[in-house]
Amino acid sequence: MVLDVLTASQQPILGFATGSTPLGLYRVLIEKSHADEHLLACWKRMIGYNLDEYVGLHPNHPQSYHYYMQENLYRHLPVAPARIHIPSAEGAVEENCHAYHALLTETGWPDLQILGIGTNGHIGFNEPDDELQIYTHLTALTPVTRQANARFFDSVDEVPQHAVTMGIGDILKAKQVVLLAYGEQKREALRQAFSGAVSTRCPASFLQLHAHVTIFTDQDVRG
Ligand code: PGA
């Protein structure tokens, strides 16, 4: 599906996610692209957006999502740096959020947005709350998310407290969404997201309002 979108237009726009879940997808994209010259060249026309970034981590920090994207995707493909967009969580964060929104407005939102899901039902870093923000914004990370991501750091204390994330409205503006959720630990979040009412307490449930969502999961989470 990602490669279909990549090859379908003169300026394909892809929305990328980070975390453990999409790593296999990125490996396959790199492999398939290197096996086909035409496919490889298509990456030169792509515009890439990322969902989120931690506040307080320099782009060279191994746990920053800037670093993750370089390491796991971009350095293996012919993508010009000017076509790579990842929220900037350094300096004047509010202004950066506005700039990210302005950029999305100018290019259009992704043709295809890749998503993971948090065990608490978050998508991007849109955490369960009384209200959800529509567009790119600064957010506090919940203890559940910081604990879940502590495995990438020496301790939970090192996991940043804040992040910048595209909003729920941004995600719903993608032409299509591909949600990846594997393993027992994602079962409850998936069940809550897709078998009940829409609730800000389970941000992924808003995907029920989108007309073109594909979920890839495994038997463990079929519920
Ligand atoms: P994971 O994170 O892929 O590392 O499980 C998913 C998420 O938090 O959205």
Q: What number does the ligand 1 atom closest to the CA of 186 have?
A: 5
Say yes or no: CB of residue 21 within 6 Å of ligand 1: yes
SS3 169: helix
The alpha carbon of 124 and the centre of ligand 1 are apart by a number of angstroms equal to 9
| 182/1 Cα distance (integer angstroms) | 18
Task: Please provide the DSSP assignment of 29-94 as one string.
Answer: HHHHHHT-HHHHHHGGG-EEEESEEETT--TTSTTSHHHHHHHHTGGGTT--GGGEE----SSSHH
Inform me whether the pLDDT recorded for 221 exceeds 60: no
Lowest mean pLDDT among 47-51, 159-163, 194-198: 194-198
Question: pTM of this prediction?
Answer: 0.96
Burial bucket for residue 154 (CB in 10 Å: 0-12, 13-18, 19+): exposed
pLDDT digits (tens, 9 = 90+) for 45-90: 999 999 999 999 999 999 999 999 999 999 999 999 999 999 999 9
Q: What number does the ligand 1 atom closest to the CA of 149 have?
A: 4
Q: Which pLDDT score, from 0 to 100, does residue 220 have?
A: 57
